[in-house]
Structure 1
Amino acid sequence: MKKRIVAALFLTLSLLPGCATNSVGKPVSANELSFRPTVDIAGSRALYIFSLARLREIEGDLEGALTLLNGAIEADPNAPFLHTAAAEIYLKTAKLDDALRACENAIRLDPGFRPARVMAGTILANLKRDKEAIGHLTKAIELDPAKEDAYLLLAVSSVRVFDYEQAVSTLKSLVKTDPESALGYYYLGKTYDQMKLHKEAANYYKKAIELKPDFEQAMIDLGISQEGLGLHGDAIATYRQLLETNPFNMNVLQHLVQLYLQQQQLEDALPLLVGMKERGVGGLETLRKIGLIYMELERYDEAIAEFEQILAREPNAHQVRFYVASAYEDKEEFGRALEEFGKIPPGTVNYVEALGHIAFIHRDMDAPEKGIAVLKQAIAANPGQLDLYLYLAGLYESMEKYAEGLAVLKDVEGTFAGDPRLHFRMGTILDKMGNKEESIVRMKRVIAIAPNDAQALNYLGYTYAEMGIKLDEALQYLKKAVELRPDDGFILDSLGWVYFKLKRYNEAVPLLERSLEIVEDDPTIMEHLADAYAATREYRRALQLYKKILDADPGRKDIIEKKRKVRAESLER
């Protein structure tokens, strides 16, 4: 009975607005929520017909069962249970209005007949008339406070009308009445998740699992709550524990794969995706994810093989064609890359980006003028595409032809003055031309247009730090950038560097350490952290980092001098 109730309730809950459930919502079926109270039915004929109806129901002949039930009702029209049984069959066949009328007949005959109240609440919930459902379910609890089903259904309907307080109160009453109600604790967790109170939700899921260790759905939702709390390691452990008992649970596998991908744990995600592919789960999307992971791992031939399988089935999957071309480009098989990029037709999502790649491939093949010609031709055909101008300016910039790149953007500034990307690119080119002041003006223009542009905030803050000016202003820009992108190693480095420039070394060190964890072996970040270690008299650590920089680039005279000074200072102490 409890298994049937939780299935029905979960399906009902999945219909809630904004509810983060793990299966697709559909109406509750009476097969999942069935009531079998014991009652006396007047008349042996009605009882006999009712028994035949139940046999037909078991055989799957619902229409035949309903015909027999109506015959039983004719034999004994005053038996509320017969009307409730008919309502159940109507609910199974999705005849909700007929089901409700049958329930109303049962309640009219006996207002205290609890099964009819519960059934009425279920039907009204399926009709999305939750306020009316709440009345019947509240009455059902009054009639028998010891039974679990009405509490759960009442909590679901309360959540659907956004009365979370009522839902929580109902469920807490249930677990007080029945401390062993795993479902009560589970739905407290679901309700708190709806309220975005993931910590409380996780605690209730844990209690449900404690009472019912094989409660799989509670474990899945616990993992989701742990993700919401940022406890990614705990969520991974929860999902892996589930897979130990059911290694082919596709719902759990997909959650775990997605979490691994979010955490950039690609080598952990890959075998799970390969297993899904072998079992035919996820279709072409699984192949796409496998291919992208191979790309990130620089296993380009394997990536191409996955993408080609997709293209064999869907030749017009232009995004996938773009991936294939990019893989060949990364392999420096430029001829194949040009061939594949050339197959992406005009008007598709990746067409303009493909032209940008084609232009830069020509540059890498020592034919930059061909790339310039490709972009100029595309601009003539598509003068309203800012991306094409940005690619052309970027191509000139990569060739150190800064004036030509800047001229491209200045010519269209009037057309695209409201696009922050134009000003950002102009700012970077001006910086490389040595015009810091104009570069700063452009970055401020970006921020005026797009106040949450983390890259512009970082660029401006780091520029001030390097110039040693307006450090308090730089600090504010970079704090905001970190709020927007807390896991960006370069932005963390910039913020740490400003703290260093402000001589707030103890605040600089943890930020620079975190930055180096994210962007391993970056020489600039290593130098910044080494300088901060030296400033906090952690000489051994500073010397280790300076050595690492010199191992990669022995000609760095500035680092050699810093290393000499730190060693001398450490000996003095």
Structure 2
Amino acid sequence: MCKSGMSTAGTSPLGACPDNHRADEYTMTTIKILAAVFTLCLVLIAAFVARKTHLPGRIKKAEEFLENEDIQKASEIVKKLLYKYPDYAPARYLRARILIKQKQYLLAISELNGVLGIAGFADFVSEVDVHYHLADLYHDTQQWQKEVEEYKAILKFNPDDIRANHRIGHVLYRQKNYGDAREHLLKAYTQDPSLGDCLLPLGVSCFHSADHTNAEQYLLKSLEAASDPSEAQYYLGALYKSKKDYETAMRMYNAVRKDRRFLVGSMRALGEIYAEQEMYDEAIERLEEGLGGLSGKDEDRFRTVTFWPSVTSGPTRSPRRCTTGRRYPKPTRRIATQKRNSTTTAAYWTTTTRGFFSPPLSRNCSRSSPKSSPGSTTI
């Protein structure tokens, strides 16, 4: 090793030691490299921070434009951001909201589903909000089943979500899925009793689920809040009829008989009530009134039946018989039977799953002596 003050070959006594010189150079080089790496790290960190603060700032500015209905400026900002960062989730989500404002629902659906496919999108965008938007869009485009699926996805995050239970309950009610509709609507209404539009669907759903106690409660409450009480009155009539509270049932049915939606059903029910009380003339009058409420479209679903009018005295009348050539289902029920002086008078009608009556007599109806027993059907 080189020592100070001693000479060596090729060096002066006072010269610097070559090993020390190399060590100093190596140290300086290392320091320079570390300084460069540190500087680069600072630059990268600054760029990262700038991006993190700059991009949300641009998104916030675009959101302000969107809230002020300045869709053009909002779109320009989003377009520039997506040009540099195509998978930037907040920009994609904001573009979907812009498309919704523009009523381009199918494009918005595609954009929102694209957001759900971006890795880590939940760090920037609420997944629940995305599902809410998709549910609304599927509703507006009448894609009911997909709407239900979105609400189910929302309920995975929060089974007691009021809005999700409220909306999915109404969708299931429209689909006549009364059991599931009742469950969801009950969750929503229990948490928020101000949801008055739950009352009628809840009452009807409880009625079809044989929960008559709660059905009566919700239907009566819906009468107080509804602008059109006809549907509630109709179901209350059916409920009281099942309890054999005929007086109240008749009052409900008579209240809705002027509504064509419930004319046929209410007249049928009134006919059954009068027949049960052996008031056959009144029963036949109500049934005939119900027959008159059928349209030609409904008439095609039925088979012409022999109708025996009620008689009080005198010879037995010949039944009216129609031959329309149409095919109708066979008669399913006899509503009234009365024996007077060995004369049987009866009224028959046919029903289908929709609860319609047999059609009114057509033009080729004629009176003739019956070729079969009373109440028989002729074609």
The alignment's TM-score, normalised by the length of structure 2, stands at: 0.50
**Greater RCO structure (CA 8 Å; 6+ sep):** 2
| Larger proportion of strand | 2
| Larger proportion of helix | 1
The alignment's TM-score, normalised by the length of structure 1, stands at: 0.35
